[in-house]
Amino acid sequence: MSRIGKLPITLPNNTQVTIGDNNVVTVKGPKGELSTAVDKDILVKQDDNTIVIERPTEQKRHKAMHGLYRSLINNMVVGVSQGYKEQLELVGVGFKATVQGKVLELSLGYSHNIFLSLPEEVTATAVTEKGKNPIVTLESNDKQLLGQVAAKIRSLRKVEPYKGKGIRFVGEVVRRKAGKTASK
């Protein structure tokens, strides 16, 4: 059995799960509603406040799907009940971030500012304290979408290993390299 797939998903009191036809699982909670289509071979069963995912055979494909769909449904349950949060730190001289509605404006040392339109499900805030690096906080109920947006923002100015400048996740450890040594 899959170690992840066989674990039951416990539902918080404020969430509701419906399993529709064509194996479409919909989760509703205080932070919104998410749904995903589960493969027709995988069985999704709901008992009171737990969800159990079962596979029909021991085929390699079914084994792979078992843990995958358990993780996807669990991420949806956590997303609509608690939500997800990602923090990005802008390290570099003159790096700035501002949010106006659903548009994130980044000043990353290029000759122009970068305007990034955010999806409806993602909310962003930018905090700049004196003497500290600007921090962009992204929040959403969809873990996959949040990670994709955070990766897109990070790809605009990747962290370089010599000075450590760039966009990084808060708490991320960057491996530094020694520069060229002075010759005599």
Whole-model pTM?
A: 0.88
What domains appear along the chain, each with residue ranges and CATH number?
4-82 (3.90.930.12), 84-169 (3.90.930.12)
Does residue 184 have a pLDDT over 70?
no
Q: Which residues contact 104 (CB under 8 A, 6 or more apart)?
A: 97, 98, 115, 116, 118, 124, 126, 136, 153
pLDDT digits over 141-183, tens only?
999 999 999 999 999 999 999 999 999 999 989 999 888 875 5
